[in-house]
Amino acid sequence: MPYSISRGDLEWEIIEPLLPKKKQTRQPLWSKRQILDGILYQLKNGCNW
């Protein structure tokens, strides 16, 4: 479920290459985009984790 602070596709195309690449041994539970959206949501709303 996207957050109200979610980045658009064009913004994500700019942000994604800036994130570090990591070798994956298994499928991650959350995408980098979902993690970033969650962090931005928390920062905007000031809610507890």
Q: Which two tokens stand for residue 5?
A: 């602070």
Task: Give CA–CA dist 17/4, Å, rounded.
Answer: 23
Query: Residue 23 domain-assigned?
Result: yes
Q: What's the domain count of the chain?
A: 1
Q: Please report the pLDDT score of residue 24 as a whole number.
A: 73
* 3: three-class secondary structure by DSSP: coil
Half-sphere exposure of 29 (CA within 13 A, CB side): 1
Q: Is residue 2 part of a domain?
A: no
pTM to 2 decimals? 0.64
Domain span at 25: 7-45
The answer to whether position 1 is within a domain reads: no
Low-confidence ranges of the chain (pLDDT < 50): none
What pLDDT does 5 receive? 63
C-beta of residue 9 within 8 angstroms of C-beta of residue 30 = no
CA distance 28 to 25: 9
